[in-house]
Amino acid sequence: MTISDVRPRAREIAAAVLDPELPMVTIEDLGILRDVTEDDQGRVHVTITPTYSGCPAMETIRSDIVSTLELAGYRHVDVEFVLSPAWSTDDLTAEGRGKLARAGIAPPGPVHSGPVPLALSVRCPQCGSLDTRESSRFGSTACKSLWVCRSCREPFDHFKAL
């Protein structure tokens, strides 16, 4: 196997690591995986960006990346956290947004530059209704808020736009 064969393989393996707080999406789906490189000695360097500074899941993600790549046969793996460019919900992939919706979490809308748009409601991921209300600004994790659908009466998480 040549190094050119290994690099895509290392990236593919790292990209498949699941987010510990949102286990229906990978770190690639979430858009926090920035780069995976390997030097001529076979050392793998992974660069990730937290969804927000202080995200409590980052150390678990780092550990999961290292152990997953080591299980695949890589002997030296390091993970670097970078804050620039900052992560935004625009970094979520279309596949990631779909996975969140299928798991009952309303995905965020796009981030806009300029005036901040006012979102009056969030589409219910259960029934599709826009007749929803925010129940709590804070959901099961800091990056989600809790909403309730007035149509189907089901509660649901909404991934906050950042």
105 and 80 co-located in one domain: no
Q: Looking at residue 142, what is its pLDDT?
A: 79
87, 116, 133 — which closes off a domain?
A: 87
Q: Looking at residue 4, what is its pLDDT?
A: 44
32 and 51 co-located in one domain: yes
Q: Looking at residue 50, what is its pLDDT?
A: 93
Quote the CA–CA distance of 88 and 19 in Å, as a whole number. 16
Q: Looking at residue 139, what is its pLDDT?
A: 82
Question: Is residue 139 a contact partner of residue 86, using CB atoms and an 8 Å limit?
Answer: no
69, 87, 105 — which closes off a domain?
A: 87
| Number of domains composing the chain | 2
Q: Looking at residue 28, what is its pLDDT?
A: 97
94 and 62 co-located in one domain: no
Rounded average pLDDT per 10-residue block, the chain, 162 residues? 56 96 95 92 92 88 96 93 91 94 86 64 91 89 89 91 68
96 and 72 co-located in one domain: no
Question: Is residue 83 a contact partner of residue 96, using CB atoms and an 8 Å limit?
Answer: no
110 and 83 co-located in one domain: no
What is the domain range of residue 125?
90-159
123 and 138 co-located in one domain: yes
Q: Looking at residue 71, what is its pLDDT?
A: 93
28, 53, 87 — which closes off a domain?
A: 87
75 and 99 co-located in one domain: no
pTM of the model: 0.76
99 and 29 co-located in one domain: no
19 and 80 co-located in one domain: yes
Which residues share a beta bridge with 134?
A: 147
104 and 59 co-located in one domain: no
100 and 153 co-located in one domain: yes
**H or E element at residue 102:** helix 94-102
75 and 119 co-located in one domain: no
